[in-house]
Amino acid sequence: MAAIPIGLIRVLTTSDRALLESHGKMIEQAYPTLDITSVCLPGQPQGVFDAESEAEAAAKVPFAARTLRSLGARAIIISCAGDPGLEGAQAEVDVPVIGAGVAAAAVALTFGLPVGVLSLTAEVPPRMARILGSHLLHSLCPASVRTTLDFLTPEGRAVTLQVGRTLRERGAGVICLACTGMSTAGFAPVLRRELGVPVVDPVLAAGGTALLRLALEGLR
């Protein structure tokens, strides 16, 4: 079976090819039938970390989606849990556009357990919150982590793990990661091992959702 071409939009601007393609490689490893082409948004050196940077990203995502579609992508992933520009991109292209945050929240619901959200900011991304509804138990963010790049530091890793433990202690039966920077840092398997509960990785959730959408629409 030929690999299915999927486009992936990174909201973190980078010239580092390995970093740019890291989320795509994660998806390809989990779903070998997918072939990921990644692009990043310009002018977002710290990614998306507040309302202003999210608005800037949202304005750029539709163009990136059109670019990936022109390259043959049969589905497009926005690799950011805030899903900036999701509706705009969906209006611009004729293939499924999957937001990592929406996908992660939907997967978290399948466990039927109280969901603890581990986020970059104090607020759960609105689309995620709407999907989780009454299953959203609590959300926490690491106080010393300001941007997605901070998750890659020793301090960022330590404080994020502690926040995960707090969510578990407060009754979370499943933890949903609400920042794809945690995917880059590899937090999901570490938290699963440390906490003994399911942990939903937004990048992998988006990849699985893209594959499912294509299968359901008969486009494989």
2: nearest Cα among 27, 35, 24: 35
Give domain 4-99+204-216's CATH number out of 3.40.50.10420, 3.40.50.150, 3.40.1160.10, 3.40.50.1860.
3.40.50.1860
Tokens 């393609």 belong to 21
pTM (predicted TM-score): 0.93
47: nearest Cα among 117, 116, 145, 132: 145
Each domain of the chain, given as residue ranges in start order, spans: 4-99+204-216, 102-201
From first to last of its 220 residues, what are the pLDDT tens digits of the chain?
679 999 999 999 999 999 999 999 999 999 999 999 999 999 999 889 889 999 999 999 999 999 999 999 999 999 999 999 999 999 999 999 999 999 999 999 999 999 999 998 878 999 999 999 999 999 998 887 777 778 888 888 888 999 999 999 999 999 999 999 999 999 999 999 999 999 999 999 999 999 999 999 875 4
Q: Which residues of 83-116 are buried (b: 16+ CB within 10 A; e: fewer)?
A: bbbbebbbebbebbbbbbbbbbbbbbbeeebbbb
d(CA 4, CA 95): 13
The pair phi, psi for residue 10, each rounded to 5°, is -90, 135
The amino acid that residue 7 corresponds to is G
Contact by Cβ (8 Å): 159, 144: yes
pLDDT at 120: 84
Question: Is there a shared CATH topology between the 4-99+204-216 domain and the 102-201 domain?
Answer: yes
pLDDT at 154: 84
| Architecture of the domain delimited by 102-201 | 3-Layer(aba) Sandwich (3.40)
39 C-beta neighbours (distance < 10 Å), count: 18
The amino acid that residue 68 corresponds to is L
pLDDT at 1: 63
pLDDT at 103: 98
Q: Which residues of 165-189 are buried (b: 16+ CB within 10 A; e: fewer)?
A: eebbeeebbbbbbbbbbbbbbebbe
Take residue 189 and report the two structure tokens written for it.
């398997």
* ∠ CA 112-116-120, rounded to 5°: 140
pLDDT at 220: 45
